[in-house]
């Protein structure tokens, strides 16, 4: 991911969200990571900070990654389907996604991850299609753009409904198993 590409995204005005945003959230992590995590869209905290997943959802995501012994620095890159905050944290419209998702496709091409983790229903809808349902299909591996891909509940859903945490932890254990298979057989994790 070149600085030129990053600056192209940071200057994007392709949809209406450019008028209300403070920052474009490009994403962050290892640009050569084997795991790409794809969220929905930045929220208020992210828009203020210019970084993905720094609010309450992000703190929970970091706890989950930590339990897997994954770091933002080394193991993952974190991005979103839409890169500017929808006002009031509403779900991005299909039109906004259509304008923005080519940036994500370009990131996928450049990062070339082996594993993609789709966080929540919006990411699953736009990456996998309307035939998938998060409640039924979370935790299942499927092929998306040539990568081993799994949807998991969005951290915001876990905060609203803590009962979903058990399933999510099972799903992340399977992600660690897959990571050992396709990336690093020596990956250490005290739980798995």
Binding segment toward ligand URA, per CB under 6 A, in 46-54, 124-132, 137-145, 175-183: 46-54
Q: Which of residues 99-138 bind ligand URA (CB under 6 A)?
A: 119
Q: Kindly state the tokens that stand for 162.
A: 């803590």
Binding-site partner at residue 27 among ligand SF4, ligand URA, none, CB < 5 to 8 Å by type: none
Please name the helix (run of DSSP H) or strand (run of DSSP E) that holds residue 122, with its range, or none.
helix 120-128
3-state helix, strand, coil in the chain (%, to 5): 45, 15, 40
Over the window 64 to 103, marking each residue x when it contacts ligand URA by CB under 6 A and - when it does not, the resulting string is x--x------------x-----------------------
Dihedral sign, CA of 145, 175, 113, 57?
A: positive
Residue 171 as a binder of ligand URA (CB under 6 A): the answer is: no
114 binds, among ligand SF4, ligand URA, none (CB under 5 to 8 A by kind): none
| Among residues 169, 173, 182, 183, the one that binds ligand URA under rule CB under 6 A | 169
Q: Which stretch binds ligand URA (CB under 6 A): 90-98, 124-132, 133-141, 161-169?
A: 161-169
Query: Reading across the β-sheet that carries 76-80, which strands appear in turn?
Result: 28-29, 76-80, 35-39, 115-119, 147-152, 141-144
The C-alpha atoms of residue 107 and residue 95 are separated, in whole angstroms, by 20
């Amino acid at each position: 991911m070149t600085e030129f590409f990053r600056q192209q995204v940071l200057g994007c005005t392709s949809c209406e969200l450019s008028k209300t945003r403070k920052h474009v959230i490009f994403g962050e992590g290892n640009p050569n990571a084997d795991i790409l995590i794809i969220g929905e869209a930045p929220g208020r905290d992210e828009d203020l900070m210019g970084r993905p997943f720094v609010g309450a959802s992000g703190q929970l995501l970091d706890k989950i990654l930590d339990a897997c012994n994954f770091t933002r620095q080394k193991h993952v890159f974190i991005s979103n389907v839409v890169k500017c905050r929808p006002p009031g944290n509403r779900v991005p419209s299909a039109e906004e996604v259509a304008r923005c998702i080519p940036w994500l496709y370009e990131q996928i091409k450049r990062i070339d991850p082996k594993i993609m983790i789709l966080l929540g229903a919006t990411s699953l809808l736009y990456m996998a299609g309307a035939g998938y349902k998060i409640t039924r299909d979370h935790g299942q591996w499927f092929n998306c753009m040539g990568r081993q891909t799994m949807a998991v509940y969005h951290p915001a859903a876990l905060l609203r409904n803590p009962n979903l945490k058990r399933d999510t932890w099972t799903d992340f254990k399977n992600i660690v198993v897959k990571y050992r298979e396709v990336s690093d057989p020596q990956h250490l994790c005290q739980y798995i």
